A and B are shown apart, each in its own frame.
Chain A
Amino acid sequence: MSADLNTPAHPTDAPEAPNRTSVPTPREPDSPATLAAPAAVAHASDRGARIAAVAIALAWHVAIALPAVLSARAEFAAPAVVLGAWILVAVTGAVAGVRLLQGSPLPPWPLAGLLLVVDAAVFAAAGERQLFTAANWVWGTLGWFFVLAVWGRRVVGLIALLSTHALIALVAVLVHGPDPADVARYVMYVYGTFSLPVAVFVGSTVIVGLARERAAVSVAGHAMAAERDAAERGLRERRDRLALVSSAAGRVLGDLAGGQADPDDPEVQRRCMLAAARLRRLIAESDDVPDPLLHELRAAADLAERNGLPIDLVTIGTPPPLPVEVRRRLADPLTGTLADAREWARLTVVSGPDEVVVSLVTPDREGPESTGPPPGEHDDGPVQYLYERDGNIRWAQTRWRR
């Protein structure tokens, strides 16, 4: 917080020629970064789970399925089909994994369809003797590729795919004329192929959700703390200024009551005007957490007032969050003009969701133009600047329209 707001300053220790104020702003508009934080945390968490899923699928396919297929090659009903299917799934799975990690997954249902076709073909080609061995690799591997195919979707999709897989296996078992041991094995295998992929799938979803929630809670907590800090700072500032105003008003009232000050004395009238203007401004401050634009203008008004200029600052509405650049263009031309103002000044801010108009009116007087931009209309991007003097008043206005 700037020192010129916190320390009750006496006119004599005010800077000589204030024309620009650079005041740290108490609150920046919610940046997209703050709002996106929970999503970013969730994304990071999800990425970890994706890497794990891709690694499991490919490692299982290569390290467990491949040696079994190669060693049992001669015993398949149609070895070429089983091996070809393995290669097809290896290539497709690798592509799907890479695309998933890049954030642009392959279309899920065509991929799932291909995997189911491979499933049926391998069951048919494996033959009765290899039905329940590791060489029938679709048992162990395919569930993980299903997980990759439907990553990020609802779990029912995965369950449907695994159920279809179980159905294909059941058909294969029944075709080969099952004995009770085969049925028991079948049940065991189905349980095995279901449980792990579903657990990983659901677990990762839950973890991502929790991470998102935790991050959101933490963001909300920080926002609340920041808001509270700003409010406390605002309150402190206001208290300090109340002390300053009270002492100034108290002194002049005391002098008047004690007869040391003459109400007809222009200097006394001036002191009264200053004290009244300060009091009015203090009463008008109703915002708990000052808006950055109003904060800047208020600081400029304080500065001008310390140089002895009675100034009214009237604000209507609260400005929407504005980019720093727009805020600067709204405030700077007026603070420049304010530095040259004499006698009195009226600074007004009217804000709506789509428009902010700031105006400074001071009495016109002989002499050079103010240090602001030259008279006339200027369009500075989305901010229009207008300055004119008509013999009575000097009128500077900046206007932002969405």
Chain B
Amino acid sequence: MGADPVAAVTGDRPVGVAIVDDHPVVVEGVRAWLATEPRLTVLATGDDPDAVLRAAPHADVILLDLRLHGRMALDKLAELSAAGRRVVVYSEHTDPQTMLAALDAGAVAFLAKHEGREHCVETVLAAASDRPYVPPALAGAMVGDPRPDRPMLSDKEREALLLWFQSMSKASVARRMQISEHTVKQYVDRARIKYTRAGRPAATKAALLARAIEDGLVRPEEIGIYRSQATHDRPTP
């Protein structure tokens, strides 16, 4: 299992994380965040993705700073994702185009650097099990996606994304939409799963989609054909 990075992490073994960032202070900060969570262990850090992966070939999740040495590492991201590496992009560049481009390239999640410890831990844990996690900044990028070929989201999914982006509190979104917090999360996650169809195919996207179907978050026909959207807008309570 360890040799296959796409295989979902199971059992009691902590999730192995590799951190790629060219600012040592950020690496240390993220390492400190992750250290507070016993289910996570940092295997390697550095500023060169290849070197870091040589040091930790079995890392389950790679936290990748999108801007390395002044260059956007979108190509590297696509390469790693195509190879089935679960990459969580984190960046201070939170303009929607960059975030959506990262998703298109196959990133499992996008985290804004200022979003803090809680979101970071949640995102890495979700990524390790091929489950989506949508931090508020990413929700904003998805709800404001202006591209004509963007995935078709239902009204409820859009509203849940919008309110989550605005309030950063699922409890408040649930109260506002008069649904349970669990359902809010389902709407948000389903929207994210629809994005696995955008951009080029990647092993990570297939894994996210497969896990979502396995979890009953979406049905295969919902993802394949978007025309029956409205009638399928019924998440389990």
Contacts and interface: CB of A to CB of B under 8 A. Distances in A.
A395 B172 contact: yes
Contacts of B94: 284, 314
Interface in A5-45: none
Nearest to A318: B146
A392 B168 CA distance: 11
A276 B112 CA distance: 14
A390 B177 CA distance: 13
Interface in B159-186: 162, 165-169, 171-172, 175-176
A182 to B, nearest CB: 72
Interface in A370-402: 388, 390, 392-393, 395, 397
A352 interface: yes
A390 B143 contact: no
Interface residues of B, number: 21
A92 interface: no
Contacts of A210: none
A351 B169 CA distance: 21
B169 A393 contact: yes
Contact of A392 (B140, B144, B162, B169): B169
B140 A316 contact: yes
Contacts of B168: 346, 361
A351 B167 contact: no
Contact of B144 (A286, A352, A395, A397): A352
B114 A276 contact: yes
Contacts of B146: 317, 352
Contacts of B162: 350, 357
A283 B175 contact: no
B141 interface: yes
Contacts of A351: 144
A316 B141 contact: yes
Interface string A263-295: 000000000000010001001101000000000
Contacts of B165: 314, 316, 348, 350
B175 A286 contact: no
- Majority SS at the chain B contact face: helix
B57 interface: no
Given A351-B144, A388-B176, A316 B96 contact: yes
A359 interface: yes
A317 B175 contact: no
Interface string B92-103: 101110000000
Interface in A317-331: 317
B171 to A, nearest CB: 7
B95 A359 contact: no
B97 to A, nearest CB: 9
A359 B137 CA distance: 14
A348 B140 contact: yes
A350 B172 contact: no
Nearest to A397: B166
Given A280-B114, A350-B165, A395-B166, A316 B144 contact: yes
B167 A350 contact: no
A395 B167 CA distance: 8
Contacts of A393: 167, 169, 172
Nearest to B175: A390
Nearest to B165: A348
B195 to A, nearest CB: 16
Contact of B137 (A283, A314, A317, A350): A314
Q: From B92, B94, B96, B172, name the one whose CB has the most chain A CB atoms within 10 angstroms.
A: B172
B144 A346 contact: no
Q: From B95, B144, B165, B175, name the one whose CB has the most chain A CB atoms within 10 angstroms.
A: B144
Contacts of B169: 361, 392-393
A314 B140 contact: yes
B138 to A, nearest CB: 11
A280 B94 CA distance: 10
Nearest to B141: A316
A286 B144 CA distance: 16
Nearest to A348: B166
B128 to A, nearest CB: 28
B144 A317 contact: yes
A235 B146 CA distance: 26
A257 to B, nearest CB: 13
A276 B114 CA distance: 9
Contacts of A284: 94-95
Contacts of B141: 316
B96 A317 contact: yes
B145 to A, nearest CB: 9
Contacts of B167: 346, 359, 361, 393, 395
A284 to B, nearest CB: 7
Contacts of B96: 316-317
A269 to B, nearest CB: 14
Interface in B94-142: 94-96, 114, 137, 140-141
Contacts of A314: 94, 137, 140, 165
Interface of A: 276, 280, 283-284, 286, 314, 316-317, 346, 348, 350-352, 357, 359, 361, 388, 390, 392-393, 395, 397
21 contacts: A283-B92, A284-B94, A314-B94, A314-B137, A316-B96, A316-B140, A316-B141, A316-B144, A346-B168, A348-B166, A350-B140, A350-B143, A350-B165, A359-B167, A361-B167, A361-B168, A388-B176, A390-B172, A393-B172, A395-B176, A397-B166
Given A286-B95, A350-B140, 16 more contacts: A280-B114, A316-B141, A316-B143, A346-B166, A348-B140, A350-B143, A350-B165, A351-B144, A352-B146, A357-B166, A361-B167, A361-B168, A392-B169, A392-B172, A393-B172, A395-B166
In the A-B complex, the 3 residue pairs with the closest CB atoms: A316-B144, A359-B166, A317-B144
